[in-house]
Structure 1
Amino acid sequence: MLRLVTASLYLRSPRTQVIPLLHVRPCTSFIQQENTVAVDALYNLCVDISKVRKQKGWVLRQSPAYVSETAALLRDMGASESIIARVLELYPEAILCKPEEMDAQRKLWMSVCPKPMDLVGIIEKFPSSFFTSSSDHDNQKANILYFQSIHLNKRIISKLMATAPQSFSQPVKQNEEMIQMLQKTFLDLGGREDNMKVWLQKLITQNPYVLSKVPEALHNNLVFLRDNGFTSSELLQLLTKLKGFVTELNPESIKHSLSYSQEILGCTEAELRQIVLECPALLYYPVPILAERFKGLLAAGMSIEKIMETPTVLELTTQIVQYRIQKLRSYGYDAQTGSLQVLNGTKKDFEKSYGQLHLRRERPLFNPVAPLTTED
């Protein structure tokens, strides 16, 4: 009993020395289901086994596994040992791809990304896009040929393959239908044919997921907006600003969002359309989000009139708005009396804005006609 009490007091003592854990090789033999050969190979590549085991432990129980072959492929393309370890930690499923499948993927990818180190950079960021099933290979190849036929350059195609791999795994006909719908819509809304290629490239690059949407969704939403008074040129402006996200909306949700916005702003339909053109987010934010953001701005002392002058402030979360208002106030800027435009933009844009305010505060402009103050 005395030993137990003494041990307990010793453990609880704040002066007890804590012995740091040593970086030891994890034991693999106690889990019989694991593929110990694969685990050992991953360990030798400095892969964090505990991380893999915690997040995707099922991979370690698969056999066969091609750890050395996967590492050799990446190494052959110029990947460093640290990059190889990061790729296998992020996407351990890579070791389940057969060597012939990986080699076929490398050849396919290098047809649009010929520089090995550029491809390594893509794999490091998007490993799941590279290590795909062999059943997708034919669709990938057909889609690459299709995108080349509509004059998308290799850089854009490789970016699409990395960020939206599902668009290359699906049958080429689905991509053809969506591209044709976008092209037709652009021309029908008054776009010039000689500008269509650049417009399409920009839209797809900004929102590659548009290719996985249903063409009818785009058509239905544009018809609904036209019925609500938007002209062809305004619809083209919205489609461009929304980067194709029009396909992710539905008429019912748009209707509710517009009705709520008009009610709280107290504006006419024509005024609302102009506000939407400046801040298309009003179309796709659901009513609860809009309500929260209006409430936050009003609680911060902003008037409806000021919100209407700079509606893009509604694209910011309430927390961001509150933080930026406080930050500006610390530099002597009152958002209630000044423009809300200074609140807008990315974090980098905002830091630049309040940095300029700080500079003005520290270095006021010299007034050559102001009287000089001198000591008597």
Structure 2
Amino acid sequence: SYTTDTKSREENKKTLENLYSLSVDITKIRRVKEWVLLQDVTYVKEIAGILQEMGADETTVANIIERCPEAILHTPAEVNSQRALWQLVCQNERQLIKLIEQFPESFFTTEYQQNQKANILFFQELGLKNNIITRFLTSASNIFYNPVEKNKNVIETLQRSYLNLGGSEANMKIWILKLLSQNPFILLNTSTTIQENLEFLQKNNFTDQEVLQLLSKLKGFIFQLNSTTMQKSILFSKNIFKCSDQELKQLVLKCPALLYYSVPVLEERLEGLLKEGISIAQIRETPMVLELTTQIVQYRIKKLSALGYDIKSGNLESLSGTKKDFEVTYGKIQSKKERPIFNPVAPLHIED
């Protein structure tokens, strides 16, 4: 086991020599993880050797060690079995070394190898493509630390819920895979949370079809909420928009953010819009604007105003949407403004 107490210890001379010989910038390591340099046993040459075997050049090796100094505390056996594991989903060693360079921390977390392996095989069985699994390994690595039974349990709960809500057997697999690839962190929830949140929506008079629609729209993020915060957000929207339960339900289906964001976030965004002179009626018409942060709203209003477009008098469609949506809308308004009005009676200047 490593010790992180840096007071009384000396840096390991052998470690330093080995790191120097690999052109590693030791000051970087001192700054972030000095305790690594104090350990009695390190495997600098061996780990560098394994990385080089996979095709890493000297700069890449130095880069990996600087970014994840703990790499040199792993035994060659641990690193080789991690390498074999990741090769289950990598096309070749070239792709593998690229991934290690980008995400060294994920690769050098070797404590959960049994779970990692069982989960990789389970995801392959489910039908997830290898490139999606590698994305999970690098950017959602903690889902692999769960025992595979726990992940299976969550998937089974989702499958059951999908069918209970009227989803068809034929579409279930695609639905689950899409949900997972959009939001692998669903697996960090418990089956109980999933049940409770679905029941909450049903109690609030969403039909099974509508609950499914919300699940897909919210990419499963709904499971990271709890019924108390959702209840508060629903009440907040109901008071602001002065609407009936039925109308509120339509608003939420149109803009699930009303359910997803907490009251303080919704309050702040609403205030930002009102300050710009936008009315509650306009927001109710296009609630999707609440998906945007106040900074984005201000930036977009400024750009539209510069074209002479008055946001207070029109609808807010031109304001909402993704960055790409906005750029398209902006482009349309701009070209409309620049296009001269054609006067059919004016004489045409034809060059002789």
Q: For residue 120 of structure 1, what is the amino acid of its counterpart? A: I
CA contact (8 A) 2:127 2:177 kept: no
- Change over 3 Å in CA distance of 1:84–1:330 after alignment to 2: farther
The size of the alignment, in residue pairs, is 342
Name the TM-score, length of structure 1 as normaliser.
Answer: 0.85
2:76 to 81, 84, 99: 99
Q: For residue 243 of structure 1, what is the amino acid of its counterpart? A: K
Deviates more, 1:115-124 or 1:37-46: 37-46
Alignment of 1:83-94 (within 5 A): 83-94=60-71
CA displacement at 1:372 relative to structure 2: 5.2
The answer to whether 1:61 aligns with 2:38 is: yes
Q: Work out the percentage of aligned pairs sharing the same amino acid.
A: 48
- Change over 3 Å in CA distance of 1:81–1:196 after alignment to 2: farther
Alignment of 1:203-242 (within 5 A): 203-242=179-218
The answer to whether 1:276 aligns with 2:257 is: no
- Change over 3 Å in CA distance of 1:109–1:340 after alignment to 2: same
CA displacement at 1:231 relative to structure 2: 0.6
Q: Which residue is equivalent to 1:75?
A: 52
Distance 1:243 1:220 in 2: 17
SS of match in other structure, 2:270: helix
Q: For residue 37 of structure 1, what is the amino acid of its counterpart? A: K
- Change over 3 Å in CA distance of 1:332–1:41 after alignment to 2: farther
Alignment of 1:1-376 (within 5 A): 33-133=10-110, 135-361=111-337, 363-364=338-339, 367=342, 369=344, 371=346
Distance 1:297 1:317 in 2: 10
Distance 2:96 2:340 in 1: 52
CA displacement at 1:235 relative to structure 2: 0.4
Distance 1:53 1:299 in 2: 49
Distance 2:128 2:26 in 1: 41
Q: For residue 155 of structure 1, what is the amino acid of its counterpart? A: N
Larger Rg, first or second structure (1 or 2): 1
CA contact (8 A) 1:313 1:344 kept: yes
CA contact (8 A) 1:163 1:208 kept: no
Gaps of 5+ in 1: 1-30
CA displacement at 1:119 relative to structure 2: 1.6
SS of match in other structure, 2:317: helix
CA displacement at 1:162 relative to structure 2: 2.0
Gaps of 5+ in 2: 1-7
Name the TM-score, length of structure 2 as normaliser.
Answer: 0.90
Distance 2:311 2:150 in 1: 48
